[in-house]
Structure 1
Amino acid sequence: MSTPHESQETERDGAQVSTGTTDKGESAAIPELVIISGMSGAGRSTAAKCLEDLGWFVVDNIPPELIAPMVELGARSQGNVARIAVVVDVRGRRFFANLKESLATLDAQNVKRRIVFLESSDEALVRRFESVRRPHPLQGDGRIVDGIAAERDLLRELRGDADLVIDTSSLNVHELRAKMDAQFAGEEVPELRATVMSFGFKYGLPVDADMVIDCRFIPNPHWVPELRPFTGLNDEVSNYVFSQPGSKEFLDGYAELLRIVAEGYRREGKRYVTIAVGCTGGKHRSVAMSEKLAHRLVSEGVETVVVHRDMGRE
C-alpha cells in the first residue's frame, strides 16, 4: 500500500508519469509539454530549434511511448526541466499508431501539453525537397507528391487535434522563428549571446567568426620593451593601446555598430554571434580591444563571453 508521501503513478504500456511527490517528499512539478509535428519539409526542425533557444528541453524524432517517461524524468528534476518539446513525425513509421494512447495517458495525468502542427502547400513542399535533392520519407518507389499525399492522410487526425497550426508555405526561416517566438517567448525578450574572441592573424582567422575586427592599425606594444612581457589584460598595455590616435574612436564606432547589429540579430531570431578581434599575435591590442568591446556589449544587455584564443602563444 502506498503512503501519502509516495508518488502516485499510472502505468500504461510500461510508461509512468508521476503526479505526486518526489522521493524526498517534495512536490513534483510536472513539466509543460509541446509536441511538434506536421508535414516533412514544413519546418519542424526550425520550430524545435527556436524552442531550444528559448530554454526548452528538446528531443527530436521520439517514439510516442517514450514521451510519458520523459515527462516523469522532468518531474523528478526538481524544476531543472520545466519545459519539454518533442518532435514526432513519420520517420518513426509506426509511432502514430501509439500516439493517441500516449496523449490520453498524458491528459489523464494533467500534463499541460500543446500540439504545434507545421503545414505547407504541396507546391512549397515539392520545391523544398527538390532543392535539397532528398526523397520524401513516404514516397517509396513513387514520386515526391505521392509521399506528400500519404503523409497528409496519415496526419489528418493529428492536424485536427492541434492547438496551433502554422502554414509555412510563404514563410522564410526568420519569419517562422518570429511566429514561434510570438507564441512561446511570452514577455521574455529573446536573448542574444555573444562571444568576443581575440586572435592573432598570423595564426589564422577563427573559422566560426561572424564579424572580424582588425586592430593592426594601432601601434604594437610588442615593440615597447617594458610592455612586451605583458598582455592586453594588464592595465599598462590597455592604457597604452587606448592612448594611441584613433583607438577610442575605433572602439566607440564598433560599439555603436555592434549595438545596431545586435538589435537586428534579435529581430531576425539569431541567438548567437561570434565577434573576432585580431592583431598580429593576439596578445596585446586585440586582447585589450576585446575586453572593452565585451564591456560595451554587456552594458547593452547582451550576454557576453570573452575568449583569448592566442594570448598564451609565443
Structure 2
Amino acid sequence: MPDPPEERRQTLVLVTGPSGAGRTTAINLLEDLGHEVIDNLPLSLLPRLLEGPPLTRPLALGLDVRNRDFTTDALIDVIDRLGQRSDMALQVLYLDCDEDVLVQRFSETRRRHPLAPADSPAAGIARERELLGPVRARADVLIDTTGLSPHEGRAEIERWFAPPEGRTLAVTLHSFSYKRGLPRGLDLVIDCRFLRNPHWEPDLRPLDGRDAAVDAHVAGDPRFDGFFTSMCDFVLPLLPAYHAEGKTHLAIGFGCTGGQHRSVAVTERLAKTLAKEGWQVSKRHRELERRAGTRIPPAERGQVA
C-alpha cells in the first residue's frame, strides 16, 4: 500500500544526547515552534502514546538515561520500529557536546551526574557518552552545542524544525578577531584586514567600530567604497536564493586582527543595508562581548529588523 499523505502522518522528534548538552533547551525550543512536547517519557509508555489517529501537532519527546527503563538496545529498537511505520514521520535529534565542556558545565552548576552520583562528573559523562554512542550513530540531526550561544542554538533548531510556512531567512552578522579563530557555524567569511586600521590612531584605539569616528576612519580608506559596494552586490542576490531553497539562517562573519574596529564597522554598515532591504538581521560582536565579560543584551547588540 502507498504511504498515507504527509498531512496524515504523525510527525515525531525523539530528542536525546548526553546530560548537559542542551536536550532540555532543545525541547523548550521545539515547544516554541509548535510541537507538543513530553520530557523524560519512559520508553515502555511510548507505544500507548502513539495509539490512535495522528495528533494535530508535531510531537517531540525528550529521552535520556535517567528513565527507569532506558537501555541503548531498547531505544534503538524504538527507533527501528517507528522508522518502519508508514504513518510516522520520525526524526532523531541528538544534542552533543565536547567532554571537557560538559565537565565545565557540571562544575559551574555543581550538579551531580545522573550516572555517577557518588563519583566525579567526568566519570558519569564518560559512561553516558559510551552508552549513547550507538544512538548518536542513528541520529538524523546532530547538533554540537560545544561553542554555540543560546541564540545560535535556537537558530540551529529552527533551521531543522521550524514549520515551512513559518520559515524566514534570518541573517546574523558576526565580527571577530582572527587571533581567536573563526566563530562556529559561519556560512560566509570576509577578511577586513586589508582596510586601514584605527588601532594605530591613539584617539581611536580605545573606541570600537560602532563609534562614528571609527566608522568614518575605516570608510575613509580609498578601497572601502569599492569593497563595500562589491560585497553588497555579492550578498544581496544570495539571500532570496537561499530563502527559496528553504534555508532559515545565514551567518556571515567579518574578521580583522583584533575584532574591535574594522570588522565591527563593516558589520554595522552591512546590517543597516540589509535591514533597509527588508531582511531580518541581527549582529554579534564576539570580541566586544568577551571584553565586556558577558553577552551584549539584544537591545545593545542590535537586532536590526
- Provide TM-score, normalisation by structure 2: 0.50
Query: Distance between the aligned counterparts of 1:76 and 1:114, measured in 2?
Result: 16
Query: Distance between the aligned counterparts of 2:109 and 2:280, measured in 1?
Result: 26
**Does 2:71 align with 1:88?**
no
Superimposed CA distance per residue, residues 69-115 of structure 1 (whole angstroms, 9 cap, x where no aligned partner): 22224x254xx23x111010011143124222222332332221011
**Does 2:131 align with 1:151?**
no
Tell me which of 55, 62, 65 is aligned to 2:44: 65
Distance verdict in 2 for CA 1:120–1:264, change over 3 Å: farther
| Structure 1 counterpart SS, 2:66 | helix
The amino acid of 2:32's aligned partner reads D
RMSD (CA atoms): 3.0
Distance verdict in 2 for CA 1:51–1:144, change over 3 Å: same
The amino acid of 2:145's aligned partner reads T
Shift of 1:155: 0.1
Shift of 1:122: 1.2
Paired-residue identity, %? 35
Structure-2 residue corresponding to 1:98: 74
Structure-2 residue corresponding to 1:208: none
Alpha carbons 2:40, 2:63 under 8 Å: kept: yes
Structure-2 residue corresponding to 1:131: 108
| Structure 1 counterpart SS, 2:95 | strand
Structure-1 residue corresponding to 2:192: none
Query: Distance between the aligned counterparts of 1:142 and 1:134, measured in 2?
Result: 11
Aligned length: 170
Shift of 1:47: 0.8
The amino acid of 1:87's aligned partner reads G
Structure-2 residue corresponding to 1:164: 141
**Does 2:157 align with 1:180?**
yes
Give unmatched runs, 5+ long, in structure 2. Answer: 169-274, 284-305
The amino acid of 1:120's aligned partner reads C
Structure-2 residue corresponding to 1:240: none
Structure whose CA Rg is larger = 1
Superimposed CA distance per residue, residues 46-75 of structure 1 (whole angstroms, 9 cap, x where no aligned partner): 1111111110111101112222322224x2
| Structure 1 counterpart SS, 2:8 | coil
1:193-212 superposed matches below 5 A = none
Superimposed CA distance per residue, residues 202-243 of structure 1 (whole angstroms, 9 cap, x where no aligned partner): xxxxxxxxxxxxxxxxxxxxxxxxxxxxxxxxxxxxxxxxxx
Superimposed CA distance per residue, residues 140-175 of structure 1 (whole angstroms, 9 cap, x where no aligned partner): 321110000000111010000011111101011111
| Structure 2 counterpart SS, 1:175 | helix
Distance verdict in 2 for CA 1:266–1:62, change over 3 Å: farther
Query: Distance between the aligned counterparts of 1:105 and 1:62, measured in 2?
Result: 17
Query: Distance between the aligned counterparts of 2:29 and 2:69, measured in 1?
Result: 27
| Structure 1 counterpart SS, 2:101 | helix
Tell me which of 7, 19, 26 is aligned to 1:40: 19
Query: Distance between the aligned counterparts of 1:178 and 1:125, measured in 2?
Result: 21
Give unmatched runs, 5+ long, in structure 1. Answer: 1-18, 21-26, 192-259, 269-314
Query: Distance between the aligned counterparts of 2:130 and 2:68, measured in 1?
Result: 13
Tell me which of 83, 92, 99 is aligned to 1:107: 83
| Structure 2 counterpart SS, 1:174 | helix
Query: Distance between the aligned counterparts of 1:153 and 1:162, measured in 2?
Result: 15
| Structure 1 counterpart SS, 2:34 | coil
| Structure 1 counterpart SS, 2:37 | strand
Shift of 1:184: 1.1
- Provide TM-score, normalisation by structure 1: 0.49
| Structure 1 counterpart SS, 2:51 | helix
